[in-house]
Structure 1
Amino acid sequence: MELQQLRYVLAVAETNNFTRAAQRCLVVQSALSHQIARLERELGAKLFERTSRRVRLTPAGEAFLPAARQCLDAAERAAAEAAAAVGEVRGRLAVGLIATVTAVDIPRALREFRRRYPHVRVTLRVGASDDLTDQVREGTLDVAFLGLPTTARPHGVADHELARDRLVAVVAPEHPLAREHSVDLCRLATEIFVDLPAGTAGRLQSDQAFAAAGLDREVAFEVTTADYTARLVEQNLGVAMLPSAYVPQLTGVVTLEVSDAPARVEHVIWSRVTHTPAASAFLAVLDIPSSGAAHP
C-alpha cells in the first residue's frame, strides 16, 4: 500500500468521478484507475461501485476512507515537522470560520501568512461553530474562529478568547421599529424572526435570552448565512439579531440597539493533539500564544 494510492482513493471519493480525480492528482485517468485496482486487489475488497452514471464508495470503501485520510494527514505532518526542524514551515494550514467573525481580519491575516510562508498550502472553510469545533478535534481543520454564547465553551480543543460583542436588532427600512433607537426583547418577541437553524451555537445565544426572559418567539425563516438573513430582513419578511460588530457590513437594513440583548464571545481554537508547525506560525501571525487554554 502506497501513499499515492491513498491520495487517489481520497480524490475519487471527494469528486465521485475518476476523470476529475485524475485531473486533481495531475495524472492520466488510466494510471489512477490502475493504482486503485491494484490497491483493491491487495485489500481483497472493492472500494468503489462504478456505473456508467456514477461512482460511489462501497461499504468497504466507507470503512477504509477515514484511516486512509488519517495516514495521509500523518505523512503530511511528518514532512512538515521535519521541515520545521531545519527552520522551514511547510505542509498545510486548514482554517475554518463562521461568516460573522469580526475580531480578526481573516483575509488580511491569510495574506500575511502566505507572504511569510509561501510553501504552506492554505485552505479555508466557512461553517457553523459546532461543526468547526468537531473538525478541529478530528484534525480536518487546524485552526477555527467561532462565535459562542457566553454560557458555552469549545470542548476538546485549545482556545483563546478574541472578543465579546452584543447582538443588535436588524429590521427593514419600512418596518415600524426602524423609526426607533432601541428596542427590548419583549417587543421583539412579537415579531417573526429570521435566524440560524435550531440547535446551532449562533441560534442558541438568542434562544437562551428569550427563554431567560420568559418569552416565546416565532422563527419562520432558518438560514445558514448572515448575508442571506439580511436579504430576507430587507424584504420585511422578518427581523433578526446579529452581532453589532458585523452589521456595519450590511446594506438595505436598519440597526437598533437591544436594551437586554444577549452577548456572544468570539474564540480561536486549535487542536491539542495535531498541533502543526503551520498552525503555530499562523497563530504567531495573529499574536496569539499557541499554548492557549485547553478544555476537556
Structure 2
Amino acid sequence: MEAENHTGLSQFLLLGLSEDPEIQPIFLGLFLSMYLIAVLGNLLIILAVGSDAHLHTPMYFFLCNLSFVDICFISTTIPKMLVNIQAQKKYLSYIACLAQVYIFNTFIGVDNFLLTIMAYDRYVAICHPLNYTVIMNPRLCVLLVLMSWIIMFWVSLIHVLLMKRLAFSTGTEIPHFFCELAQLLKVASSNTLVNNIFLYMATALLGILPLTGILFSYSQIVSSLMKMSSSPGKYKAFSTCGSHLCVVSLFYGTGFGVYLSSAVTHSHQGSMVASVMYTVVTPMLNPFIYSLRNKDVKGALGRLLSRVTSGPSWMDDLRTKRKLRSLKQMF
C-alpha cells in the first residue's frame, strides 16, 4: 500500500470486535445496555452526593469527580462503536481518530490520578484523623483534581502532536473497536521510535508512580489498623477503604491485562476483550461497588429516590410556602 501523511489520509477502518453479521445485533444490544447502566449509575452517584449535605466531604467530592470522568470515559468510545454497528460502517476520519486518542488518554489518565488521590485521602483520614480537616481542606482538594486535568491535557496533547508526524498507508485497518494509541503506533508506516519512547515514559510516570503511591498509602493504612485495639474501629476504617480497593483492583487489573495480552499472545482479539473490560465493564461496575459497599451512599440514594417519587407533593408544598410568603409581604 502507498504510504501517506496525515494530509492525504482521510479515514481509518476500524475492524471492530467481530465481522460476523449475526453477532452484530447481540453486540449492539449488549453494549447499549452496559453503556446506559454505566451512565445512569454514575449519574445517580453524582446526584446522590450533591443532594445530601452529609456527603459533602473530600472523599465524596473525589467520588463525584470519578463518576463524572467514568461517564466521559465510556462516552468516548462506546457511542461511536454503537453507531458503527447500527450503520454497518466502520470508518473513522483521521481527525476524529486523533480526537478520540486525545480525549480517551486524558480521561483514563485523570481516572488514574483520582484513584491515587482517593487513596491518599483514606491514608490521611485513618493515619492522621485529628489533622484530616486541616490537611484535606477544600482548596487542596480542588487543586489536586485541577492538577490531574492539567497534566493529562498536556500529556495527551504531546501524544497527538507526535502522532501527526507519522505516515499511514491508504486504507489503514485498525484491529480494534476504537482508536487506541498503542494500536495506531503498530499500524503506522513510518518510524515510531520517538512515539514509543514517550509512550513508555508516560506509562511509567503516570501509571507506575500513582500505583506505587496507592500501595504506599494502603501499607500505612494496614499498619495503622494493626495498631488499633478496637475491633469495631478496625472494621469501620477498613470498610471505607474496601470499595476503593475493589475499584483500584478492577482498574489496574484490566489495564495491565490489555498490555499483557497484547505483549504475550499478540492476539488482537484478546487485546480487544481486555480493552472492553477497562473501557466498559469498569465504569459500569464502579457505581455498584460504591453504592453496595457504602451505607452512606445507599442512604443518600434512598433519600434521593424517595424525593423523586414524592415529587408532586414536594412541589405542592413549595408552592404553598411561596403563596404564604407573598401574602405576608402584602400585609
What TM-score results when the alignment is normalised by the length of structure 2? 0.22
What TM-score results when the alignment is normalised by the length of structure 1? 0.23
Higher strand share: 1
Higher helix share: 2
The structure showing larger relative contact order (alpha-carbon pairs under 8 Å, at least 6 residues apart) is 2
